[in-house]
Amino acid sequence: MTDFALLISDWYRLNARELPWRSTKNAYFIWLSEVILQQTRVDQGMKYYLNLIENYPNLKQLADADEESILKLWQGLGYYSRARNLHKTAQQVRDEYQGEFPKTYSEIIQLKGIGPYTAAAISSFAFDLPHAVVDGNVYRILSRYYGIDEPIDSTQGKKTFQALADSLIPSSDPALFNQAIMEFGAMQCIPNNPNCESCVLNQSCFSAFNSELIKKLPIKKGKTKVRKRYFHYLHIENKHEIALDQRTGKDVWEKLYEFPMIESTDESIPLIFADSAQLIYQTKHILSHQHIYAFFYTSDKSEIAGLDFKFVEKSHFEDYPIHRLMEKYLESNSK
């Protein structure tokens, strides 16, 4: 057994909360609790669990219930497909497994509403099978303890963490290890500001006391929610001068120079230069976190109400730092 497994199991023996579904080997109760605890915290799920087992003390009674009655007991918990799948699975176990919860991982994971996490949890907690659970807690602990920087929301990353967890889980009392690692994540190696001083893993943990690292792990690619923005640029120049403006504020291209610009919420030409400007170039400029729809207009006006800019000598234009979007426009314009 690894040091990691030893330390975390010892920690669990001393620090485990007493929860009703932890003191049973009844697969029905364990399944019910695990489905409730998907996307749900213990303190929120507890009363639903107690209420459900009181109303449906065994799997057959759940299977025989109306879907609507189950949904009523589920009310307020969210993710109602869990309740509907619960009912379907209860009926399936009643009809195809003679009411006896299946005892192998491969059978369990085929049931509705049961994915890799829940199948591993039931397999180990009810049947002592060595399938490692990998939930948000496990990603967090393993990435920090071993210093793993693979994104947990990629297919490859999920494989890496599952394989690592499966390699760590001991064949003797795998249930204890699974309980321990999740409890440890919930109580000790918490998402923000975990207390490394009081941690039993702090001598061997890759990230211990390194708050910068702890903040970064586990790494997520994230759903790059791209913001759409619409920039309308005015190209104004005379014989010797050209209009420029310096970007300010906490935004892209801070302090770089560009043509005077209006940002709008859509692609229609801003009213204040609609009458005098002529669209000559447009492009979509893609950054990691935003898509900028850029429109370049020419104008012979030397001032526009509401636009702030200065004229610079064309001979010095090259001295001003500009961003890639400006370059793209200038390249297109010189052709």
Q: CA nearest 122: which of 112, 110, 134, 133?
A: 133
> Can you tell me which of 16, 94, 136, 202 binds DNA, judged by CB under 7 A?
136
72 vs 310, which CB is nearer to DNA?
Answer: 72
Is the CB of 167 or the CB of 192 nearer to DNA?
Answer: 192
Assess whether 68 carries a catalytic annotation.
no
| Residue in 9, 33, 91, 118 binding DNA, rule: CB under 7 A | 118
The only residue of 26, 85, 202, 264 in contact with DNA, by rule CB under 7 A: 85
Stretch that binds DNA, among 62-70, 105-113, 172-180, 250-258 (CB under 7 A): 105-113
Structure tokens at 63: 């299977």
Given candidates 220, 228, 310, 316, which one binds DNA under the rule CB under 7 A?
A: 220
Name the minimum Å distance from CB 138 to DNA: 8
The token pair at 57 is 């003390």
The verdict on 116 binding DNA (CB under 7 A) reads: yes
The token duo for 125 is: 């907690």
Tell the smallest beta-carbon distance from residue 93 to DNA (Å): 14
Q: Is 114 in the site for DNA (CB under 7 A)?
A: yes
Amino acid at 290: Q
Cα dist from 236 to 33, 284, 285, whole Å: 67, 21, 21
Q: β-strands 257-258, 241-246: how paired?
A: antiparallel
Catalogue the active-site residues. 34
Residues near DNA (CB under 7 A) are: 38-39, 41, 43-44, 76-81, 85, 111-119, 135-136, 139-140, 154-155, 191-192, 220, 222-223
